[in-house]
Copies of this chain bind each other. A is one copy, B any other.
Amino acid sequence: MQYPKGKLIAIGGAEDKGTDLEAGEINRNNLNFFELGILRRVVEEAGGIDARIEVITTASTIPYEVGDNYMNAFGKIGCTNIGVLHIRNRQDTANPEFLERIKTCNAVMFSGGNQMRLSVTDGGTDFLAILKKRYQEETGFVVAGTSAGAMAMSKTMIYEGNAARAYLKGEVKMTTGLGFIDNVIIDSHFEKRGRFVRLTQAVATNPSCIGIGLGEDTGMLITEGNKMEAIGSGLVIIIDGHEMMHSNIADIPDGNPISIENLRVHFCEKGNGYMVKERKFLMEAKDGALIKKQVHVE
Cross-chain contact B191 with A167 (CB below 8 angstroms): yes
Q: How far is the CB of A256 from chain B (nearest CB, A)?
A: 7
Q: How far is the CB of A210 from chain B (nearest CB, A)?
A: 14
Count copies of this chain in the complex. Answer: 2
When C-beta atoms are compared, the residue in chain B nearest to A25 turns out to be B24
**What are 7 A-B pairs at a CB distance below 8 A?**
A166-B191, A167-B234, A196-B197, A256-B269, A257-B269, A258-B267, A260-B267
A200 within 8 A of B: yes
A220 within 8 A of B: no
A26 within 8 A of B: yes
A62 within 8 A of B: no
Tell me the bound Cα distance from A163 to B163 in angstroms: 13
Q: Which A103-138 residues have C-beta < 8 A from chain B?
A: none
A residues adjacent to B (C-beta < 8 A): 23-26, 163-167, 191-197, 200, 215, 233-235, 237, 245-246, 248, 255-270, 272, 281, 283, 298
Cross-chain contact A193 with B191 (CB below 8 angstroms): no
Cross-chain contact A167 with B215 (CB below 8 angstroms): yes
Chain B residues lying within 8 Å of A265, measured Cβ to Cβ, are: 200, 260, 262-265
Tell me the bound Cα distance from A10 to B23 in angstroms: 28
Tell me the bound Cα distance from A234 to B281 in angstroms: 31
Tell me the bound Cα distance from A260 to B267 in angstroms: 5
Q: Name A194's contact: one of B26, B196, B257, B258 (CB within 8 Å).
A: B196
Given the interface contacts A26-B24, A194-B193, does A257 sit within 8 Å of B235 by beta carbon? yes
Q: How far is the CB of A296 from chain B (nearest CB, A)?
A: 8
Tell me the bound Cα distance from A137 to B22 in angstroms: 48
6 smallest CB-CB distances across A and B, nearest first, come from: A194-B194, A196-B196, A257-B269, A263-B265, A261-B281, A260-B267
Tell me the bound Cα distance from A269 to B257 in angstroms: 6
Q: How far is the CB of A203 from chain B (nearest CB, A)?
A: 11
When C-beta atoms are compared, the residue in chain B nearest to A258 turns out to be B267
Cross-chain contact A267 with B272 (CB below 8 angstroms): no
Chain B residues lying within 8 Å of A268, measured Cβ to Cβ, are: 259
Of A191, A192, A262, A298, most buried by chain B (CB within 10 Å of CB) is: A191
Cross-chain contact A195 with B194 (CB below 8 angstroms): yes
Chain B residues lying within 8 Å of A266, measured Cβ to Cβ, are: 260-263
Q: How far is the CB of A235 from chain B (nearest CB, A)?
A: 4
Q: How far is the CB of A196 from chain B (nearest CB, A)?
A: 4
Tell me the bound Cα distance from A164 to B264 in angstroms: 22
